[in-house]
Amino acid sequence: MSVIRIRRSALERRADDVVVRHVLSEEGLPPVRGEPSVVAILPNGRVVWLRLHPRPASSSEVDDLGRAAERADLQHDADLRANTRALQRLAARLTEDDERVVQARLARERKLVRRMVAGDGRLDSRFTSETAVQQLEDRRQSVHELAFLRRQRRRQLWDGLVIASALPLFAAYGQRSKPFAEHNLVLMLTLGVWVLGDELSDLLSSISRTGPMARDVDVWSYIAPLGNMLSGWWLLSGRQHQRFVTGAVDSFTVNATKTDADPPEVRYVFEAQLDLAPWLAVEHIDDFRGFPGVPAVATLASPEWPAELAKLELRVVGVAARVQLGVLILMVTVVGPVKPTPTEPLPQPTIMWIVDTQDPEE
């Protein structure tokens, strides 16, 4: 429809242009010259000469003026038609340009939408893949952390058992007087090795790991309590772990001497020497023999022996014990009046003794 309308308007413009060119091609009126005069006869019969200024136009001049006005109108109408056609062409051009701009804009928008959709699709697929990878990594990390927490709980439990296993070792082999004594340092070092050994194994396995079994180092935690006790016993079994050793002696040699008391008395000394080596650890015997002034205590096992001596008019005046070069010397002193030498040997006492095996200087 727009093409037919444009063609029809073009034909009308061509017909109007032909008419306008035909009209405008005619010659114009010559200019009016002079001031003409006319003769007028008045009603009273008088004749008067009249001069008109400006002179009146003739009918031909009026016709020429009409034709000139018509030509001007036609020229004006032609100009208006030309302007109208120019405006119509401008409007058509603007419409075409607007449609072209709209089409270009729509094309760009469609292209942009396609690019955005494609980009969103790529981004969505990438986001989905990255999310899946991250979720898988999170699950692996959570499983790893859960396994790590479980291992740490097991290790804490077994580390507690290792520390508990060290208590009897410190009770047996520890030296209370000196916190940094040799035995205490050995036990602390052994305990530290068995407690921190699994962490060191973890560190070494993470550096030189060759397979999944390299991470399973909890076996160390399982054997640590028993290993701590065995290593402490192996290192200190030859050392003295009993500070006090005790025993009983019921066999003595008797020596009788007279005193200068008034009246004179007889002093019976019951003496026994006991080597303490069987009661001491093998590695502690030589050290023990060099200890000066080892504390030792002795006492009668029961009051029956003094009662038997009382029947013989004898009384116990002292029980002594001393250690010399690793030998326990026990002496029981009994005094009584001078009498003929008894035909039967004196009854033997039973002496309980206790010896401190620690170095007195510590």
Per-residue pLDDT tens over the stretch 127-140: 888 889 999 999 99
Structure tokens at 126: 């990438």
Cα–Cα distance, 267 to 133 (Å, whole number): 101
From CA 49, how far away is CA 39, in angstroms rounded? Answer: 5
From the centroid of its chain, how far is CA 125?
30
User: Are the beta carbons of 28 and 64 closer than 8 angstroms?
Assistant: yes
Say yes or no to pLDDT of 3 above 60.
no
Percent of the chain whose pLDDT exceeds 90: 12
* CA atoms of 170 and 69, how far apart (whole Å): 139
Listing DSSP states for 40-99 in one string gives EE-TTS-EEEEE-SSPPPPHHHHHHHHHHHHHHHHHHHHHHHHHHHHHHHHHHHHHHHHH
The average confidence (pLDDT) of the chain is 79
Half-sphere exposure of 148 (CA within 13 A, CB side): 8
How many CA atoms, within 13 angstroms, populate the side-chain half-sphere of residue 241?
A: 18
Highest averaged pLDDT of the listed ranges 102-106, 204-208, 240-244, 351-355: 351-355
- pLDDT top residue among 146 and 158: 146
Predicted pLDDT at 32: 46
Per domain, the residue ranges of the chain are: 2-112, 158-236, 244-356
The structure tokens listed for 330 are: 């026990």
Structure tokens at 320: 């002594």
Q: Report the alpha-carbon distance of residue 11 to residue 13 in Å, rounded.
A: 5
Q: Which of 237, 324, 330 is closest to 280 using CA atoms?
A: 237
Sign of CA dihedral 134, 139, 142, 148: negative
Residue 180 carries which side chain, given as an amino acid letter? F
Describe the strand order of the beta sheet including 315-324 as a list of residue ranges. 253-258, 265-275, 327-337, 315-324
Which pTM was predicted?
0.50
15-28: per-residue pLDDT in tens? 455 444 554 454 44
